Structure 1
Amino acid sequence: MNLELEGKAVLVTGGSKGIGQAIAYAFLDEGAKVGIVGRTLSDLETAQKEGIEIFQGDVTDEHDRKRMMKDFLEKFGTIDVLVNNAGGSNGSTVMETSLEQFEEAMHLNFLSAVDLSKQAAEVMSENADGGAIINISSIFGRESGGKPTYNASKAAMISFTKSFGDEMISKGVRVNGVAPGSILHETGNWKKRLEQDPEKINAFVEEHISAGRFGTVEEVANVAVFLASKRASWVVGSTLNVDGGQSYSNF
């Protein structure tokens, strides 16, 4: 299937490893021009391939976000696709987690994406072909499963995706999301947990993931690339679960 993404300018935050790196590589395979954002230069350089430009910075810093978008636009001339993938988990139970940690999670997992989405949409709305924004959230944005800070920020992302999607479609900008379940990759928490206690983690997989295995970063990337393409032209404001049946939610 030709997804018609050749030559498109794509920016992926948190693109130096894990799901973000897989998404960047998937767009590259489709012939897109790709920029990846990350805080650590060595990780960015390790992930870099021919056709991928690197932009070092911290998405939680407002000045860095503006600088990185400016640098991306200067390099590629426009932005056709933005993938808000940067994120992380912190804290513990609600009572054992400080307000500052909740604020940190919101800035990393949610507010950075809001700002970058607004910046990108302003440019995309002037493009003849519009553009696409893909927000990477989590199934735990719909049901409690991760840490409270993570659940809350990812829930906000899903709500924002719907609101902004409805707002921008009339201007030719489609906003959608992907909600991964448990994904196994070399730099992720599930890999560490599996190595520390394989019996416990294998039991978790058997009990909670209908497909009977962890997902792969490539399986998430494939959905992100599809949503960014014209093949998903009638998908607006939606966040699609990519979880092998792990989620208990029926909507």
Structure 2
Amino acid sequence: MNLQLKGKTVFVTGGTKGIGRAIALAFADEGCKVAVCARREEETFPTDIPVILGDVTKFEERERIFQEVTARIGPIDILINNAGGSNGAEIEKTTMDEFQQAFELNYFSAVHFSKLVLPGMKANKEGAIIQVSSIFGRESGGKATYNNAKAALISFTKALADEVMHEGIRVNSVAPGSVLHPTGNWQKRLNENPEKINQFVQTNIPAGRFGKPEEIADVVVFLASSKASWVTGSSLQVDGGQSKMNM
């Protein structure tokens, strides 16, 4: 399928490993100009995908990163807010600083970058913003810090989508289930206790296996394309049936 994305500029946060890396490479395969940001460069990228290093939990760093990205590839046509992560423990044992950090990483970074791309998208009368959330933003599960921040991100997605659709800008989110990749938490847990994790998969994922980063990336690329022109404000779970929700 020709997704008609050739020449589009794409910025992916948290883009040097796992799902973010797969997303960046998928857009590059479509002929897009891609840039990514991350705290560190985990793996070597093709030379035409610049990696801007920085900490997206800090306001000033986000401003700098955005300026560097646009200087490298131009105004952003497609923004993928993928940066995220989990921290803390039980709520009573989790500090307020940990809650704040979780929201800076999973929520405020996405809000800030979304606001930064809007002027250029409005001037161009088109654009796509996609947030990488989680099934644990749609239902209970995971650590409270992560669950709460991802739920807020899905809510923000719908609010922004309704505000900017009339200007040709679509905003959606994808909600991955458990995805296995070499640098992820599931791989670490699998190495530590394969019997327990394999039992988790058989009990909790109807597909009978973990998801792959490329399977999330394929959905993200579709949502960013004109083939999804009537989709906005949506949260699409990509989870092999893992979610317990029926909507």
Same fold, judged at TM 0.5 (above): yes
How does 1:15-34 map onto structure 2 within 5 Å?
A: 15-34=15-34
- 1:185 equivalent to 2:206? Answer no
How does 1:108-147 map onto structure 2 within 5 Å?
A: 108-128=105-125, 130-147=126-143
1:72 maps to: 69
Secondary structure (helix, strand or coil) at the match of 1:126 reads helix
- 1:87 equivalent to 2:84? Answer yes
| 2-structure distance, mates of 1:35, 1:226 | 18
Secondary structure (helix, strand or coil) at the match of 1:36 reads strand
Q: CA deviation at 1:67?
A: 1.2
TM-score of the aligned structures, taking structure 2 as reference length: 0.98
Do 2:133 and 2:175's aligned partners in 1 also have CA atoms closer than 8 Å? yes
| Overall identity of the aligned pairs, in % | 56
Q: Structure 1 stretches (4+) deviating beyond 4 angstroms? A: none
Secondary structure (helix, strand or coil) at the match of 2:123 reads coil
Q: CA deviation at 1:77?
A: 2.2
1:101 maps to: 98
Do 1:21 and 1:47's aligned partners in 2 also have CA atoms closer than 8 Å? no
- 1:62 equivalent to 2:53? Answer no
| 1-structure distance, mates of 2:72, 2:102 | 30
Q: CA deviation at 1:47?
A: 3.4
The C-alpha deviation readout for 1:161-185, integer Å capped at 9, x for no partner, is 1111111111111000110000000
- 1:212 equivalent to 2:176? Answer no
TM-score of the aligned structures, taking structure 1 as reference length: 0.96
| 1-structure distance, mates of 2:15, 2:72 | 17
Which of residues 26, 45, 48 in structure 2 aligns to 1:48? 45
The gaps in structure 1 that reach 5 residues or longer are: none
Q: CA deviation at 1:202?
A: 0.8
Q: CA deviation at 1:60?
A: 1.0
Q: Alignment RMSD, CA only?
A: 0.9
- 1:151 equivalent to 2:172? Answer no
| 1-structure distance, mates of 2:23, 2:64 | 22
| 1-structure distance, mates of 2:215, 2:44 | 19
| 2-structure distance, mates of 1:184, 1:10 | 24
| 2-structure distance, mates of 1:178, 1:47 | 26
Secondary structure (helix, strand or coil) at the match of 2:24 reads helix
